[in-house]
Chain A
Amino acid sequence: MTSPLPFDSELAAVWPRLRRFAYALARDAADADDLAQMAAEKAFRSFDQFHAGTRFDSWIFRICRTVWIDTIRSRSRRSAHEAPAEAAELLGHDPTSATEAAIDLGKAMTAMQRLPEEQREVIALILVDGFGYREAAEILDQPIGTISSRLARGREALLTLLGEGG
């Protein structure tokens, strides 16, 4: 090895963003924490496939999304019937004033969950994380035109979900 533990230092640099991406995809905090952890483990095991000189963040976000599709998502679906009513109810129980412009994490996660997955992941990458369209297209392995139209639809839906549309 040329430098000590390059994986750990790459991971540490991107870790807060990776967790945020997991929170934007997942149904709840427990799933999100598991997702980020599992993505990190999978990336560590596949680190020899990472091409030096390319973006580590794009690479590990792509892994995270794959883990999401392969494992956590199906787990969430199985248990999805347990929570939604309660979660919806909690939106009305926010102890901070509903008139404040800021929305909290719980409300944002619920809104994201209501988006179709293909829109949610695009919103998570571009609006939440700030990836460009091209990087998002590469991470999701889709043409830019597809990314752009999913983003447009997701945005319109968010306006309504976050209370701006009505």
Chain B
Amino acid sequence: MMDDELFYAWLDGELAGDEAEKVAARVAGDPELQARAEQHRRVAAQLRGAFDPVLQQPVPAPRFGSADVVDLQSKRSERDERRSSFGVPQWAAMAATLAIGIVAGQFVDNRSAAPVESREGMLVAAASLDQALDSQLASAGNQDAIRVGLTFRNHDGSICRSFSGAAGSGLACRNGGGWNIEGLFGSTAQGDYRMAAGDDPRLAALVNERIAGEPFDAAAERSARDRDWR
């Protein structure tokens, strides 16, 4: 039986020269050890792979430059405010399971048609939500499960649309041919009272932060749709 730590050290490339060769030879001659090496390599690769999305999230490093401590403090309180409204970094970070489990899962029962998906570490609109954002006009005033509220351009010039459903509300902005979810807010239903999702102050604050200029009127919204929200 080989010493575990020696085996792992070999697996991690920590052994050199003779020692490494000895272990390699023993593993080569022992199918059980080979299988074990393979299993541990696989688990390590899975673990690394699972954390990869964090590396790819477009979260810029804080810059200090001439910043002083007071600035840092005020930045932190700004961040805390954003955090309480579930700003993008937190959402994007936990995209895969948690976000979908908590909020998006409530949008529909059928999980294969979940309206929000995680793709490459980003939350994007899918299924009914993607469809509503693509085609629905706020002025339509229909009774669909998902209603589109405001349409506007953000500071990057992308078109964003707020939406709401029974489970909550959110904001999505156009990215390529899809919609990135920029914020999702669970409904604040309490007892019989359910806040009209579009009135959620957290959504209003997010819209306020992102909007450049005025929201689109019905004509602008329609013509934006005709140009595929570009």
Contact = CB atoms under 8 A, between A and B. Distances in A.
Interface of A: 5, 7-8, 11-12, 15-17, 19-20, 23-24, 28-30, 32-33, 37, 40-41, 44-45, 87, 89-91, 93-96, 101-108, 111, 123, 126-128, 132-133, 148-149, 151-152, 155, 158-159, 162, 164
A95 B114 contact: yes
B43 A158 contact: yes
Contact of A28 (B46, B61, B89, B94): B94
Interface in B59-79: 59-65, 69, 72, 76, 79
B34 to A, nearest CB: 15
A20 B53 CA distance: 9
Place the interface of chain B in its size category: 35 or more
Given A17-B55, A155-B40, A162-B46, A107 B61 contact: no
30 contacts: A11-B61, A12-B63, A15-B60, A16-B55, A19-B57, A20-B51, A20-B54, A23-B54, A23-B93, A28-B94, A29-B94, A29-B98, A33-B59, A45-B69, A87-B98, A93-B101, A102-B46, A102-B50, A103-B50, A106-B96, A106-B98, A108-B46, A108-B51, A123-B47, A128-B47, A152-B4, A155-B44, A158-B47, A162-B46, A164-B43
Nearest to A20: B54
Given A17-B55, A23-B54, A8 B94 contact: no
A15 B57 CA distance: 11
A24 to B, nearest CB: 6
Nearest to B56: A16
A54 B46 CA distance: 31
B131 interface: no
Given A8-B61, A30-B83, 18 more contacts: A5-B65, A8-B63, A29-B90, A33-B93, A37-B79, A40-B62, A89-B101, A91-B97, A95-B117, A96-B96, A102-B50, A104-B118, A126-B12, A127-B48, A132-B14, A151-B8, A159-B40, A162-B43
A107 B60 CA distance: 25
Interface string B164-187: 000000000000000000000000
A7 B14 CA distance: 31
B206 interface: no
B54 A148 contact: no
B214 interface: no
Given A102-B49, A105-B95, A133 B9 contact: yes
Contacts of A30: 83, 90
Most buried by A among B50, B54, B59: B54
B135 interface: no
B229 to A, nearest CB: 26
B96 to A, nearest CB: 4
Contacts of A16: 54-57
Nearest to B92: A29
A107 B53 CA distance: 13
Most buried by B among A23, A91, A95: A95
A30 B79 CA distance: 11
Contact of A105 (B42, B50, B102): B50
B98 A20 contact: no
A29 B58 CA distance: 15
Contacts of A132: 14
Nearest to A17: B55
A94 B97 contact: yes
Contacts of A102: 46, 49-50
